[in-house]
Amino acid sequence: MRVTLEEAVALLKKGELVAIPTETVYGLAACLEDVAAIQKIYQVKGRPAQNPLIVHLTELGHYVKTRPPYLQQLVEAFWPGPMTLVLEQSQVPEIARAGLPTAAFRVPNHPLTQQILQQTGPLVMPSANLSGRPSSTLPEHVESDFGPHFPVLEGETTLGLESTVLRFADRWEIIRLGALPPEAFETVLGYVPEVRETKKGESPACPGQLFRHYAPAAQLLPLKDNVSGIVVGFSDRHYNATLYSLGSSQDPEAVAENLYATLRRLDEEGVQQAWIDLNIPQEGLWKTISQRLQKAVFQ
C-alpha cells in the first residue's frame, strides 16, 4: 500500500513499520527508541535474532562512545551516503544491536529518507526484504515480500546495492562489501581497507554475512560451457540460451542498479533454474557485484 511522506511519519511515530527508499535499497524502518516496533522488524523479515540492525540518523551525536582515528575524515568524505560504520555505542537499545557492544550507523543521502529522519529522529532499517531474499529496489519488491497492504513510501533507489560496512580494528576494514568500493577509501585513509572474511570458528565481524543471502527461490548455478535454458548474464556477451540481462559488462553502475530486480524477475516469471555468469573483474564495484552473485548461487 503506497503511503505519503506524512503518513509514513505518522505510522512510524505510532510504532508501525514502513518501507522507505534510500539511495542504496529500500529500508524497513522502525523508530530507534521503540523496542516493540524493532521486535516486529525481526518477526516480519524472519531475521535471526543475532543479526543486528543499522541505525540511520542525520548525525552521530551522542550515540558514539569512542572515536577511532580517521572517523571524522570518513564522515566528512562519505556522509551523507552509502557508508555504514560499526562503532562502540552508547544508548542504542540492545535489541537493535543484537546485544553487541557496538552498533552500525549510517547517514543516508536520499532526500526522502532525510526528510523522514528529520521528523522521526533516528530509525533502524534493515533492507526491506524477507531474510535471505534479494534486497528491494522497487515498491513492488517490498509488496511481493510483505504483501500488498504493507505501507511503502514510493521513491527511487539509485545505487541498487547496500551500503559498505566498515569497522576499526588497528586499521579500518570492510566487513561487508557495498556500494562504495574498497578503493574509494584510499584517498581518505591512505590505504585501501582490507575486506575481512569471517573464518570458520571465529565470531563473525559482520553477523549478516553468515547467512544465505540475496538469493531468489530459483536455483542459480555457475555458468558452464554449452549450457542451454536460462542464463543471468551480460547484454554484450553471447550465450546460446535465454538471457536475463544484468546490463553491459562495461557498466558496473548499471549492473548494480539492475541486479536485484533481475534476480527477482526469475521468481516472478516462475523460473526454477538458471545459469549465472560469474566471469566478473575483481575490482571496484565489480567486487561487490561478484560477491552478491556468489552468495545468490545455490549452495
In angstroms, give the least distance from the CB of 222 to ligand TXA: 24
Q: What are phi and psi of 174, to 5 degrees?
A: -90, 125
* Contact of residue 103 among Mg ion, ligand TXA, none (CB under 5-8 Å per partner type): ligand TXA
Which C-beta is closer to ligand TXA: that of 161 or that of 230? 161
Which C-beta is closer to Mg ion: that of 267 or that of 277? 267
- Residue 41's identity, in one-letter code, is I
Which C-beta is closer to ligand TXA: that of 174 or that of 246? 174
SS3 217: coil
In angstroms, give the least distance from the CB of 259 to ligand TXA: 13
* Contact of residue 207 among Mg ion, ligand TXA, none (CB under 5-8 Å per partner type): ligand TXA
Eight-state DSSP code of residue 64: B
In angstroms, give the least distance from the CB of 295 to Mg ion: 11
In angstroms, give the least distance from the CB of 294 to Mg ion: 16
The binding site for ligand TXA (CB under 6 A) comprises 22, 24-25, 27, 51-54, 82, 84, 86, 97, 100, 102-104, 106, 125-127, 162-163, 165, 175-176, 206-209
Taking the C-alpha atoms of residue 67 and residue 273, their distance in angstroms, rounded to an integer, is 47
How many CA atoms lie within 13 Å of 159's alpha carbon, on the beta-carbon side?
23
Which C-beta is closer to ligand TXA: that of 74 or that of 175? 175
Beta-bridge partners for 230? 242
Give the CA distances from residue 210 to residues 38, 48, 254, 273, in Å, rounded to whole numbers and listed in that order.
21, 11, 27, 24
In angstroms, give the least distance from the CB of 226 to ligand TXA: 37
Which C-beta is closer to Mg ion: that of 68 or that of 134? 134
Do the Cβ atoms of 147 and 157 come closer than 8 Å?
Answer: no
Alpha helices per DSSP H over the chain? 5-13, 35-45, 71-78, 111-120, 139-146, 186-189, 252-268, 284-296
In angstroms, give the least distance from the CB of 53 to ligand TXA: 5
Torsion angle defined by CA atoms of residues 208, 123, 55 and 180, in that order, rounded to the nearest 10 degrees: 80
Residue nearest Mg ion, CB atom distance: 127
The binding site for Mg ion (CB under 5 A) comprises 127
Which C-beta is closer to ligand TXA: that of 196 or that of 234? 196
